[in-house]
Amino acid sequence: MLRTHRLEPEFAIATGIHALDTIRFLMGDPHSIEVTSRPHDSSSVCDYSVRLAFPNSAVAEISMMLHTGLRRESYFLSSDGATAEATLDSAYSSGLCFQGDRYWSGETIVEQHPLVKDPLIDGGFLGEYEDFFRSLAAGAPSMCSLSDAAHSMQLAEAVQNHYSGQLQPLFLE
């Protein structure tokens, strides 16, 4: 998660939670976390390197870099043999960076999609609202439960507090 001028002390539990929530969605709940932080200018603002270990021996590594100098918010997901990246438009963007997402296989781009220059679409807000209203109209439960939110917040608080170790179960299953 590469950002510019996002020097809020609570970044991990605010915006950073989205990267952690994405990993939980893709991989499930980790059993342990290892957090390394690097402060900015002797302040409480930190970049974070996060390593999550999962019960199936899988590992996820997340970097939350808060002041990279990039002109656009960028995300990179990679695994053996495949990578996805997204670079989003925003008010502080420049035209020097690709806007959209790319899917890689090996060293080749296999799909490429431009993003609309509408911040409600680029930022995902419109899709979230549409899904919420569809569920509400259908009387269907939300895809995200309070339990899911609590697990993601547990990870975000662990990062914010520079915690490394086993994660305790939040609820009796």
The pLDDT score that the predictor gives to residue 96 is 43
pLDDT for position 91: 47
- Alpha-carbon distance of 152 to 145, in angstroms, equals 11
Instruction: Report strand pairing: 46-53 vs 32-39.
Output: antiparallel
| Architecture of domain 11-116+148-166 in this structure | 2-Layer Sandwich (3.30)
pLDDT score at 147: 86
The SS3 of residue 153 is helix
**Residue 62: which of 27, 111, 110 has the closest Cα?**
27
Considering the entire predicted model, what is its pTM?
0.71
For the chain, which ranges sit under pLDDT 70? 71-73, 87-100, 104-107, 114-125, 171-173
Per domain, the residue ranges of the chain are 11-116+148-166
Give residue 83's pLDDT: 78
In this predicted structure, what is the pLDDT of residue 72?
A: 65
Whole-number Å distance between alpha carbons of 165 and 40:
24
The per-residue pLDDT for 153 is 94
